[in-house]
């Protein structure tokens, strides 16, 4: 039996109260498409007795090591506590991209970055921020910052962005599955750059 391509399952699902079950749902769906899903280890490590900074270092080292064993990455790009995706997930997209491995992604919210940024700025919520009225809002018709969206296109994929019912942004796997289908159809995730 040939080796199944290993997919690193990046996204803020690691912060769900039932993170391991949410990860398993993705792993199961991967298996039905012939892939091996690999969920980040945040909730799977025994961090008992570690100081906060030690726990963080342990999780970081585990996930970086795990990424190096994977052939491809599929990221949940859904905005998380602001206009953009989870920053840890963005880090991971860049990490796998630098290794020359395909990166794919989906957002469970429709619409492009500019529309979200404009809506956010109009709220003037007043929390400290590097943004300001004269700061440009990038407008490339993309669902996320261009470094992320372009890396996905350059990988041979396209960002999947579609709305799901409110509250299901970390649960609905339709967009995730669309990424798996992209991989089956056109990518060769075992062929590394």
Q: Which residues in 36-75 contact a second copy (CB under 8 A)?
A: 52-53, 55-57, 59-61, 63-64, 67
Q: Which helix (H) or strand (E) holds 105?
A: strand 103-107
For a second copy (CB under 8 A), the number of binding residues is 76
Two tokens at 38?
């690999």
User: Quick one: how far is CA 28 from the chain centroid?
Assistant: 18
Asked if 87 interacts with a second copy (CB under 8 A), we say yes
Two tokens at 89?
């997930």
Q: What is the rounded distance in angstroms from the CA atom of residue 42 to the CA atom of residue 28?
A: 19
Closer residue to a second copy, CB minimum distance, 1 or 122 = 122
Closer residue to a second copy, CB minimum distance, 16 or 27 = 16
Neighbours of 122 (CB within 10 A): 8
Contact 137, 83 (CB under 8 A): no
Two tokens at 109?
């919210």
Asked if 9 interacts with a second copy (CB under 8 A), we say no
How long is the chain? Answer: 193
Reduced to 3 states (helix: H, G, I; strand: E, B; else coil), residue 171 is coil
Closer residue to a second copy, CB minimum distance, 142 or 183 = 142
CB of 168 to a second copy, least distance (A): 10
Contact window for a second copy (CB under 8 A) among 1-9, 23-31, 127-135, 176-184: 127-135
Closer residue to a second copy, CB minimum distance, 30 or 73 = 73
Asked if 130 interacts with a second copy (CB under 8 A), we say yes
CA-CA-CA-CA torsion sign (50, 67, 84, 111):
negative
Instruction: Indicate which single residue of 36, 41, 82, 190 sits in contact with a second copy (rule: CB under 8 A).
Output: 82
Closer residue to a second copy, CB minimum distance, 16 or 29 = 16
Contact 89, 77 (CB under 8 A): yes
Contact window for a second copy (CB under 8 A) among 1-9, 24-32, 166-174, 182-190: 166-174
Closer residue to a second copy, CB minimum distance, 174 or 184 = 174
Asked if 31 interacts with a second copy (CB under 8 A), we say no
Reduced to 3 states (helix: H, G, I; strand: E, B; else coil), residue 75 is strand
């Amino acid at each position: 039996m040939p080796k199944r391509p290993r997919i690193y399952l990046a996204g803020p699902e690691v912060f769900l109260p039932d993170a391991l079950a949410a990860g398993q749902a993705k792993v199961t769906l991967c298996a039905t498409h012939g892939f091996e899903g690999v969920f980040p280890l945040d909730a799977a490590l025994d961090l008992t007795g570690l100081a906060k900074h030690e726990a963080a270092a342990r999780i970081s080292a585990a996930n970086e090591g795990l990424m190096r064993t994977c052939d491809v990455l599929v990221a949940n790009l859904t905005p998380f506590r602001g206009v953009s995706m989870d920053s840890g997930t963005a880090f991971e997209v860049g990490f796998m991209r630098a290794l020359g491995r395909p990166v794919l992604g989906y957002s469970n919210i429709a619409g492009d970055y500019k529309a979200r940024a404009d809506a956010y700025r109009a709220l003037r919520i007043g929390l400290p921020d590097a943004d300001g009225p004269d700061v440009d809002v990038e407008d490339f018709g993309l669902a996320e910052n261009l470094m992320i969206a372009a890396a996905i296109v350059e990988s041979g994929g396209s960002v999947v962005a579609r709305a799901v019912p409110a509250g299901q942004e970390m649960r609905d796997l339709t967009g995730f599955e669309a990424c798996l289908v992209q991989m089956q159809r056109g990518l060769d995730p075992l062929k590394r750059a």
